[in-house]
Structure 1
Amino acid sequence: MENDLIDIKKAEYLFGLLGRQISYSFSKGYFNEKFKKNALKGYYYTNFDLDIIDDLPPLLDSLPNLKGFNVTIPYKEKVMPFLDEIDEEALAIGAVNTVKFLEGNKLKGFNTDVYGFEYSILPFIKPMHKKALILGTGGASKAVSYALDKLGIEHKYVSREASRDNSIRYSELTKEIVNDHFIVVNCSPVGTFPDINACPNFPYNFVTKNHLFFDLIYNPSETLFLKKAKFYGAQIKNGEEMLELQAEKAWEIWNY
Structure 2
Amino acid sequence: MSETKLFAVTGNPILHSKSPCMFNNAFESMNLEARYIRIAADSATEAIYLFNKTELSGMNVTAPFKEDIMPFLDIIDDDAQKIGSVNTVVKKDGKLIGYNTDHYGVANSIIEADISLKDINAVVIGAGGAGKAAAFGLVKNGAKVTIVNRTLAKAKAAAQTARLQI
> Considering only CA atoms, is the larger Rg found in Structure 1 or Structure 2?
1
Query: C-alpha deviations, 1:70-105, integer Å up to 9, x for none?
Result: 1111111111111000011111111111111011x2
State the match for 2:136 in structure 1: 146
State the match for 2:161 in structure 1: none
Q: Tell me, in whole angstroms, the C-alpha distance in 2 between the residues paired with 1:57 and 1:125.
A: 38
State the match for 1:159 in structure 2: 149
Count of matched residue pairs: 155
The structure-2 alpha-carbon separation of the partners of 1:82 and 1:157, relative to structure 1 and needing over 3 Å to count, comes to same
State the match for 1:32 in structure 2: 24
Alignment of 1:89-238 (within 5 A): 89-103=79-93, 105-122=94-111, 123=113, 125=115, 130-163=120-153, 164-165=155-156
The structure-2 alpha-carbon separation of the partners of 1:67 and 1:158, relative to structure 1 and needing over 3 Å to count, comes to same
State the match for 1:197 in structure 2: none
State the match for 1:8 in structure 2: none
The structure-2 alpha-carbon separation of the partners of 1:74 and 1:33, relative to structure 1 and needing over 3 Å to count, comes to same
Asked if structure 2 preserves the Cα contact closer than 8 Å seen for 1:157 and 1:166, the reply is: no
Q: Tell me, in whole angstroms, the C-alpha distance in 1 between the residues paired with 2:25 and 2:118.
A: 39
Q: Tell me, in whole angstroms, the C-alpha distance in 2 between the residues paired with 1:62 and 1:128.
A: 45
The TM-score normalised by the length of structure 1 is 0.55
The structure-2 alpha-carbon separation of the partners of 1:93 and 1:47, relative to structure 1 and needing over 3 Å to count, comes to same
10, 14, 21: which one aligns with 1:22: 14
Q: CA deviation at 1:127?
A: 8.7
- Cα RMSD, aligned residues only: 2.4
Asked if structure 1 preserves the Cα contact closer than 8 Å seen for 2:118 and 2:141, the reply is: no
The structure-2 alpha-carbon separation of the partners of 1:63 and 1:156, relative to structure 1 and needing over 3 Å to count, comes to same
State the match for 1:12 in structure 2: 4
The gaps in structure 1 that reach 5 residues or longer are 1-10, 168-256
The TM-score normalised by the length of structure 2 is 0.83
The structure-2 alpha-carbon separation of the partners of 1:106 and 1:33, relative to structure 1 and needing over 3 Å to count, comes to same
The structure-2 alpha-carbon separation of the partners of 1:39 and 1:124, relative to structure 1 and needing over 3 Å to count, comes to closer
Q: CA deviation at 1:32?
A: 0.6
Is residue 2:89 matched to residue 1:88?
no
The percentage of counterpart residues that share the same residue type is: 38
Q: Tell me, in whole angstroms, the C-alpha distance in 2 between the residues paired with 1:128 and 1:14.
A: 39
Asked if structure 2 preserves the Cα contact closer than 8 Å seen for 1:101 and 1:108, the reply is: yes
* Counterpart residue type for residue 18 of structure 1: T
Q: Tell me, in whole angstroms, the C-alpha distance in 2 between the residues paired with 1:25 and 1:67.
A: 19
Query: SS of 2:151's equivalent?
Result: coil
Moved over 6 A (4+): 126-129
Worse overlay, 18-27 or 74-83: 18-27
